[in-house]
Amino acid sequence: MKLVRRLTILFQIMVCSCSQMADQGKIPDEYVSVLAEGDFKIPSRRNFDILFFRSNDKRIVETSVDALHSIYRAGFETEFDHYSDFLSESLNGNFEIPREFFDGRQAYPFIPEADVIEIFEHSSSDEFAARFCDQDSSGTFTLKDSIPDTSNTYIRTVLYCMFLKGFEIHPVDSKKSFIIKPMI
């Protein structure tokens, strides 16, 4: 009887986890297409968007679209037919990039803060945004002043979670000032 109860609870936890992961969705193809535009000879129009991908050492890496293009050109043009395919796979977490391809580029690896990830996994997009962001009348979000600025990792983890929840992130002028708005 105890085994059946434990299995039932385990199954309920798995169902809840799957529904939370479904809430984060995938990075919209329209957003990926906009990021992939340009010739990348000069900084692209979207170079200041903050993007995230997974590395093969299980870290999350904050970067830019131009840095990702440089990584693509350095080792993945033969693996992916188009830069947009590479972007989609890496931004959606389906492709982990080996560290040697982003070392020395505009890329900042970090291990996400466990407490923020816990909140992320148990929150809808709206709940997570309300907890960590203030929203203005135009629908744009900024990080709350109450977020501790003692740790870049904490801020990066919040931004990473917002990215996974379907928000684009643009730095403003300080390490804690960002414009966060829904992706296309």
Task: Give how far the C-alpha of residue 52 lies from the chain's centroid of Cα atoms, to the nearest Å.
Answer: 4
pLDDT at 8 over 50: no
Residue found by looking up tokens 């993945």 in the block: 76
Q: List residues bridging with 54 in a β-sheet.
A: 60
The least confident of 69-78, 135-144, 161-170 is 135-144
| CA–CA dist 97, 93 (Å, integer) | 10
23 with 164: CB under 8 angstroms?
A: no
- Please give the Cα distance from 16 to 64 (Å, whole number): 33
Question: Per residue in 20-61, pLDDT tens?
Answer: 333 456 899 999 999 999 878 778 889 899 999 999 998 999
What is the model's pTM?
A: 0.82
Q: 179 near 142, Cβ under 8 Å? A: yes
Among residues 111, 143, 113, 115, which one has the least CA distance to residue 129? 143
Looking at the DSSP bridge assignments, the partners of residue 53 are 61
- Of the listed ranges 10-14, 47-51, 129-133, 146-150, the one predicted with least confidence: 10-14
